[in-house]
Structure 1
Amino acid sequence: MASAQFDLRTRLASGEPFLFSWMTVPSPLLAGQVARLPFDGVCLDMQHGMIGFPDAVGMIAAINAAARPALVRSLWNDAATPGQCFDAGAKCVIAPMVNTRAQAELLVRAAKYPPMGSRSWGGYTAQQAAGLTPAEYLREANRMSMVFAMVETAEALENVEAIAATPGLDGLFVGPSDLSIALSKGAGIDKTGKETLAAMQKVAAAAKKNGLVAGAFGGSAEVIKSYLGLGFTFIAAAVDVDLMQWGAAELNRALRV
C-alpha cells in the first residue's frame, strides 16, 4: 500500500530552511487554519502552551489533513509522551531538558521501536494517517518518527558533544531563551547576545559532526536570520498568539493611514 504521508526526514535532509509555526492555543479548528499558513509545519507546545494530549490528538489530525507535518514539543523528557504523540500521527517530538547522554539515550528508547529503542506497539491512528499496513508501519516507523533533544541549560551545553553522538537521535533543538537565562545566571533573556550565539555555534557544530539536524526557536525575522547564518535549518518561526497580535497591529496601522 502506498503511503501519502509527509516525508519529514527527506525534507530536512535537503538542508533547505524548514520554518514552522508554533501553537500554544488548544484548538483543532485553529490548528487546521494555522497549518494552511505559509509555513512548512506546525509545532504543538505541550510544555508551555495550554495543549494537553487530548487536545493534541485532534490538532495533529487537523494538521495532517492539511498535508503539513505535525511536530510536538513534549511536556518533559519522559518515557511516555514520544510514543503517544507518534501514535497520534505526529512526525517529530522535541523533548525539553535533555542534559546528559544518558537522558538522550532514554529519549531515543522511548521514541523508537526495537532494535533502536523500546517504543510500545499500538500506533493505529498513525498507521491510518500514513496509509500503511501494520507491517509497513513497523518497518518504516523509526525512519518516519524523528526525535530532537533540546539544549537549553549550561549542563546540556557542556555535554552537547556526547548528546549529539547518541545513536538514533535525529536532531538538536536550542531553546535560546532558557539557554541565555542559564548562561547569564538569571540576568535576562538575550536570544541574539554574543554568549548565546557562541553557544549556539557549538550546538550547530556538534549537530553537523554527527549528521543531525540543527534546530532552534526563533520567533521573529531578526532572530531567524541570525540562526540561519549559524547553520540552523529547523526553526520555529512564529507563535500563534504573536501572529494574531501582529495581524491586529498591522490592521490598526492600515486603518489609521
Structure 2
Amino acid sequence: MTGATTIDGFAKRIRSGEGGLISAWIGIPDPLFVNHLAQEAFDAVVLDMQHGVWDIGSAAVGIGQGRLAGKPVLARIPLGDFASASRLLDAGASGIIAPMINSVSEAKAFAKATKYLPLGERSWGPTLAMNHTGLSATKYLATANEQTVAIAMIETRAALDAADEIMRVDGIDGIFVGPSDLSIALSDGANVAPDTAQVDGVLKHLIARCRAHGKFACVFGSNGERAGELLKMGFDFVIAGADTQQLRSGAATAIAAARRVQAS
C-alpha cells in the first residue's frame, strides 16, 4: 500500500492481526527528519513527545511531512497530557500513544480525550485532519474513531496488575509495552535491562492478554534485530530503534569504513 491508502488504512491494518508492522521513532524535533525517515520502508513514524523535544507546532508540521511522504504518523504524548492527544489528532495524527497508563481511570481519561461520542468526549476542531484526509466534517466525525487509534502504554507493576481491565476499556485500541521502564519496575529500580528472559516472559503474557481481548500489541525494540525477535514473538507493531541510535550507528559505520580503507 502507498500514499493515502497506507495512511487512511493504518488503523484497519494494525487492528487486523496481520502483524509485521515496523515503525520509525523520532525524538529529534525536526519535521524534515520525519520526511527523510518516512522515505524508508517503515510502515509508520512515531514522534516521541515524552522524552523527545517536540512541541505541538513542530509535531503538527512533522505529521504533515510524514503524510506528504505517504506514511501514517503517530505521537507519544507527554505523561498525562491528554489535551495534547486531541490536538495531535486534529493535526492529522493516525494514533496516540499515552505513557504510564496504570489504571482503568487513566485509560478512560485517555479514551475520553481521543474518541468522539459515544466512546469519548473529544472536542471538535480537526481542521488539519480534514485537510489531510479530504473528508467532509460529517464524514470525518463518522469515521475518526475507527481511523485513529488510542494506545495505552503498559510499563509498571500497577499497569501489569490492571492490564486486563485497561484492555477492556472502550476506546482503548491496543497497548504499547515500554520494556525499559518495565525492566526498572520488575527489578525495583535496580537496573535497566529491557532485553532479558524475565521481560520476555511478561511480554508473552501481555500478547496473550491482547489476543484474549481482541486488542493489538505494540512494543519498543532497541534495534532492528531485537525488533525482528519481537515480531516473531507475536507483536503487531514494533519500533526498530530510536532515531538517535540509528543516526549515531550510521555515523559510526561510515567512520569505521573510512578508517579501514585509509589503513589498507
Correspondent of 2:247 among 237, 244, 248: 244
Alignment partners' CA distance in 2, 1:203 and 1:101: 16
Matching of residue 77 in structure 1 with residue 80 in structure 2? yes
The SS at the match of 2:183 is helix
Greater helix fraction, Structure 1 or Structure 2: 2
Specify whether residues 14 and 182 from structure 1 end up closer, same or farther in structure 2 by C-alpha distance, changes over 3 A only.
closer
Alignment of 1:1-257 (within 5 A): 5-12=7-14, 13-255=16-258, 256-257=260-261
- Are 2:19 and 2:231, in contact at CA under 8 Å, matched by a contact in 1? no
Please identify, of 5-14 and 247-256, the stretch whose mean Cα deviation from structure 2 is larger: 5-14
Alignment partners' CA distance in 1, 2:250 and 2:200: 29
Specify whether residues 14 and 200 from structure 1 end up closer, same or farther in structure 2 by C-alpha distance, changes over 3 A only.
closer
TM-score, normalised with respect to structure 2: 0.93
Shift of 1:78: 3.2
The SS at the match of 1:119 is coil
AA aligned to 2:105 is: A
AA aligned to 2:228 is: K
Percentage of pairs with the same residue? 36
TM-score, normalised with respect to structure 1: 0.95
Alignment partners' CA distance in 2, 1:136 and 1:57: 22
- Are 2:175 and 2:216, in contact at CA under 8 Å, matched by a contact in 1? yes
- Are 1:6 and 1:68, in contact at CA under 8 Å, matched by a contact in 2? no
- Are 1:18 and 1:235, in contact at CA under 8 Å, matched by a contact in 2? yes
Alignment partners' CA distance in 1, 2:73 and 2:79: 18
AA aligned to 2:198 is: E
- Are 1:100 and 1:159, in contact at CA under 8 Å, matched by a contact in 2? yes
Number of aligned residue pairs: give it. 255
- Cα deviation 1:60-92 (Å, max 9, x = unaligned): 110011110001001023331211110000001
Q: Which runs of 5+ in 1 are unaligned?
A: none
Alignment partners' CA distance in 2, 1:185 and 1:102: 24
Q: Which runs of 5+ in 2 are unaligned?
A: none
- Cα deviation 1:77-110 (Å, max 9, x = unaligned): 3331211110000001000010011211111111
